[in-house]
Structure 1
Amino acid sequence: METTSEQSGKLSRDLEQRIRLALRDLRYGTVTLVVQDGKVIQLDKNEKIRIQ
């Protein structure tokens, strides 16, 4: 059974991985984290495509 700190560490690693994935191929745009009660509850990725 995992302790609270182990669960928190697992969530932190998962969040970090999701942020890295959101940023990996992003050329233009934003990645926004929504925080509530000190915890990230949402990750938004908005990508802009520049047409030449």
Structure 2
Amino acid sequence: NAGIALEHSCTNCHNSTNKMFTDLSQSLYQELSDQLNKLYLLWKLYLNGQ
């Protein structure tokens, strides 16, 4: 059945796209929190230096 095959490929594509976006947002979030941690440490060093 062509309809079932089409539905199946749509579902596969949707799942892999979702996974890609999830991986992407997790890595972006990780990057952002790393940068914030660095800024926080620099800020603490700066305050301690005053």
TM-score range, shorter chain: 0.3 to 0.5
Higher helix share: 2
Q: TM-score, normalised by structure 1?
A: 0.46
Say which structure is richer in strand. 1
Larger radius of gyration: 2
TM-score normalised by L of structure 2? 0.48
Relative contact order, CA 8 A, sep 6+: which one is greater?
1
